[in-house]
Structure 1
Amino acid sequence: MTQQGVRWTSEQVLARAPDDASRKAGSRLGSAGPWSSSGCDGAGAVWGLCKGSGSKPYQTMIDTTGPAYKCSCPSRKFPCKHALGLLLLWSAGEQEVAAGSAPDWAEQWLKGRSSRATGTEAGAGPAATEPPAGPVDAEAARRRTEKRAARITAGADELEQRLEDLLRGGLAAAERPGYGLWEETAARMVDAQAPGLAARVRELGAIPGSGQGWPARLLEESALLHLLDRAWLGRSALPEPLAATVRSRVGVPASAQGPAVRDRWQVLAQYDTADARLVTRRIWLYGREWGRSALVLDFGAAGRAPALALPVGRTIDADLTPYPGAGQLRAALGERYEAPDAPAPDGPPPGATLTEAVERYGRALLDDPWLEAYPVTLDGAIPLPPKDGDDTWQLACEDGKLALPVPPGTASRPALWKLTAVSGGAPVTVFGECGHRGFTPLTAWPHGSTEPVRLT
């Protein structure tokens, strides 16, 4: 059940997709272009007409309080791609789907649902004879879950064979077939409903011929992919927290679980990444009382910014609910009890040295071997621009005995020069992501200042 009048986030919409194909198709319909006569009311109803391949548009209706879906398209998926697209459009705000009165074709369905609900509550009339929807839906969901798991297992078996073929032929020969072979393998993983495996395969395809030492990088990433494959195939023997992490890495959607944590969360960083289908917004928060960082994700259809935006440096009084999995940092933002206030008077979170940053990332890998980066606040870091023909930026400790590289492409040159200007050659406090390729700076605090400088 969902609260009336409250628009879902795009993440909540996409989490209801029955499969990855529906999620992609729905994302493509999440813009105003194909829609007309769309609207919503304060009781949780959303409706719209979507232009299809025929002369008549599809009539799409949604009751978000159920939720329940109705569409005149022939799809047997619930929700169908048109319902997902309409919900994404609705989640974007009042300008995209405005409040109004439902047209006749939507009103008839909504009244029918209301009448059945009333009859069920009264315990009389035709509605009282209808079987309850809950157990049926739960059974259907169980069958879908089992079917998807079987498809992923078949895909993982196939991927294992392809990795064996790669090693048998020699890594040095991986450059000859070109990217097409990798894309074909990734497409097979998409068909197997394992988008996490597909993404890692595409990353493998970009490594051959990418510069000096690429065979070693290809071997490392192939080993991690092999480890994920074997973990999925043997997931029944894993502790549940680690099994949940494996499901997440493979690409099986999950919902936030467990008790919510209320705290005053400081917004440390916010930045977007995009591909052909989605725009992903990553927001790092730090709980002042909890003493830990959490990652909030929000999504937008291709070419559209996600709806959730939090000002860097501010604190919010809110609930966060963690996602399942060993060492998982992701959480869902729940109820907010007040608007963002002024910057936290005590400045940045407690800092760490470069050595401690690497150690924290290493410990995090024990829970999640596929973790790309770990949030760390560095205390007393000095940015070092490239020199002697090298193109690598570095963050050095004050005594100059240790430095971490900034991974190429993870931070723009203007951002790095901004960090250098903030530093002025002196140590600064920097928040960012520490991973196996180095440290990516996202936010900085000049010495003695509580006001952050956003680098992204």
Structure 2
Amino acid sequence: MLLSHGGEPLRAADPAGRWTVEQVLALAPDEASRRAGSKLGSAGPWSGAGCDGSGAVWGLCRGSGSKPYQTVVDTTGPAYKCSCPSRKFPCKHALGLLLVWASGESALPAGGVPDWAGEWLTGRRSRGEEKKNGEKAGPAAGGTPATGPADPEAVRRRAERRAERITGGAQELEQRLGDLLRGGLAAAEQSGYGLWEETAARMVDAQAPGLASRVRELGAVPASGPGWPVRLLEECALLHLLDSAWLRIDRLPEPLAATVRTRVGLTAPAEGPSVRDHWLVLAQYDAPDGKLVTRRIWLYGRDSGRMAFLLSFGAAGRSPALALPVGVTIDAEVTPYPGAGRLRAELGRQFGLPSSAGSPPTGGTVATAIGAYGDALHNDPWLDSWPVTLRDVIPVPSGDGWQLVDATGDAALPLTPAALSGPGLWKLVALSGGSPVTVFGACGHRGFDPFAAWSTDADADGAGSGGAEISAAATTSETVPLI
């Protein structure tokens, strides 16, 4: 159901299971697009629509003009093309077409690809094949790179100049933190956010966007409610630790040094070896990042048991290009980026068609999740959270919040304030209905953020209708997104 950009051309295959309506709507860049796409999600506005076994979906949609909009979707990316003027990605026509496709074969039957859609599909998949062959063909195999190699000496000089600027920014930030502590934390509340924003701007000038982001977070702490001085001191200590690590980076072991470089804002390419697996898409969510929109997608490798997350970015007014429906499984390669934990990865080639079936991660207890986060902090002290799966937990109210309690009642993990404010909590409570569920999310010092959940099959292994016995191995394969 989803596949990767740059994947090899797909051969004829049995049609993969169609996406669900929820998976299609999860691709919408915003609520307005979701509503507009839903209005086009019936056969009425469409003509000449169809699909084939290679993952292509196409159709003509009536618009306000004399000519219908030509819309085609390659679900092996997914990738979209529409003749409408919208800058949203995917547009409402692509969403509507996918909703028609999701409703079943009778609404969008299989057929031959029309010329206007086939031209785009052929060009897109040919470029993917050329990219794949280019990666395989090095100088020894007769491959010729499209551009000449960069001058190593020039690259080295640019890296040195940037490192010097970051070092200057880190030293200036150390002075700012020292002044704050000498003047007392109460001064942070009196000076307001302006001084922090000025300091963050200085970090941007020093080409250290990671430091700038952390400084902006510090500026928001005094307005975060009771107990803010403790939180501010904790965050200042972590920022001081990052500054100190950068200023002594030559003394650090390479995995930790790679983590420090990433934390201050230096980028590095994904490096092998690539991992091919059947990856279940667990979650996809967007977050504003200045003028950009950052999209995070979490994957779980069924065979390797490892987690990976993908990052993609959209400029102002445009959503990120990479969008994978939650709950589908893809046979694909991912290549990890350097750094402790090596969770971030780059999606590579995909093989065959995706599947709508996929078992959730095995999961563990609350104590196991907390232990996993503690182990991850050993390698990355600036880690806010760590991806974990909790098995057989029940959401229950606790004081002013909610917590996930082990079915045995031995331990509990509070939900973060952010989790309490969204609709995901009520989806989780409704899915549970007082019974144990499996939940994937992020465990950190603020609590647990749920991203996806699966209900437990209470009828397995002879469990009675009252659900007195719950099989730890029996869960449904349908992924319920919570974010």
TM-score normalised to the size of structure 1? Answer: 0.69
Encode CA deviations 1:27-77: one digit per residue, 9 max, x unaligned: xxxxxxxxxxxxxxxxxxxxxxxxxxxxxxxxxxxxxxxxxxxxxxxxxxx
State yes or no: 1:450 paired with 2:464. Answer: no
Per the alignment, residue 311 of structure 1 pairs with 325
1:257 to 247, 271, 286: 271
Per the alignment, residue 405 of structure 2 pairs with 396
Other structure's SS at 1:413 match: coil
1:410 CA displacement: 4.1
The equivalences for 1:15-414 within 5 A come to 134=149, 137-344=151-358, 347-385=359-397, 387=399, 390=400, 392-410=401-419, 412-414=421-423
Per the alignment, residue 49 of structure 1 pairs with none
Measured in 2, the distance between the counterparts of 1:415 and 1:134 equals 48
Kept in 1: contact 2:280–2:301 (CA 8 A) = yes
Per the alignment, residue 424 of structure 1 pairs with 433
Encode CA deviations 1:137-162: one digit per residue, 9 max, x unaligned: 32222111111000000000000010
Measured in 2, the distance between the counterparts of 1:340 and 1:271 equals 21
1:201 CA displacement: 0.3
**1:394/1:91 CA distance change after superposition, 3 Å:** closer
Q: What RMSD in Å do the two structures reach over aligned CA positions?
A: 2.5
Encode CA deviations 1:63-102: one digit per residue, 9 max, x unaligned: xxxxxxxxxxxxxxxxxxxxxxxxxx9997999xx999xx
Other structure's SS at 1:370 match: coil
Kept in 2: contact 1:286–1:292 (CA 8 A) = yes
1:6 CA displacement: 5.7
Measured in 2, the distance between the counterparts of 1:323 and 1:418 equals 33
Kept in 1: contact 2:256–2:339 (CA 8 A) = yes
**1:276/1:303 CA distance change after superposition, 3 Å:** farther
AA aligned to 2:315 is A
Kept in 1: contact 2:6–2:348 (CA 8 A) = no
Gaps in structure 2 of 5+ consecutive residues = 8-85, 94-116, 121-146, 458-475
Pick 1 or 2: higher relative contact order, CA cutoff 8 A, min separation 6: 2
AA aligned to 1:298 is S
Gaps in structure 1 of 5+ consecutive residues = 8-88, 101-131
Per the alignment, residue 43 of structure 1 pairs with none
Measured in 2, the distance between the counterparts of 1:211 and 1:230 equals 29
Per the alignment, residue 441 of structure 1 pairs with 450
AA aligned to 1:421 is A
AA aligned to 1:354 is V
AA aligned to 2:291 is R
Measured in 2, the distance between the counterparts of 1:258 and 1:276 equals 31
AA aligned to 1:264 is H
Kept in 2: contact 1:274–1:302 (CA 8 A) = no
Per the alignment, residue 52 of structure 2 pairs with none
Measured in 1, the distance between the counterparts of 2:229 and 2:482 equals 33
Encode CA deviations 1:212-264: one digit per residue, 9 max, x unaligned: 11111001100100000000000001111111110000000111012111111
AA aligned to 1:454 is P
AA aligned to 1:318 is A
Kept in 1: contact 2:452–2:480 (CA 8 A) = yes
Encode CA deviations 1:333-365: one digit per residue, 9 max, x unaligned: 011112321212xx2111110010000000001
Kept in 2: contact 1:411–1:441 (CA 8 A) = no
Task: Calculate percent identity across the aligned residue pairs.
Answer: 64
Kept in 1: contact 2:389–2:440 (CA 8 A) = yes
Kept in 2: contact 1:374–1:433 (CA 8 A) = yes
1:412 CA displacement: 4.0
1:303 CA displacement: 3.0
Other structure's SS at 2:417 match: coil
Measured in 1, the distance between the counterparts of 2:202 and 2:449 equals 33
Measured in 2, the distance between the counterparts of 1:413 and 1:377 equals 20
Encode CA deviations 1:409-437: one digit per residue, 9 max, x unaligned: 24643210110000001110000011111
AA aligned to 2:366 is L
AA aligned to 1:240 is E
Kept in 2: contact 1:430–1:442 (CA 8 A) = yes
Other structure's SS at 1:380 match: strand
Measured in 1, the distance between the counterparts of 2:283 and 2:425 equals 15
Kept in 1: contact 2:6–2:349 (CA 8 A) = no
Kept in 2: contact 1:428–1:444 (CA 8 A) = yes
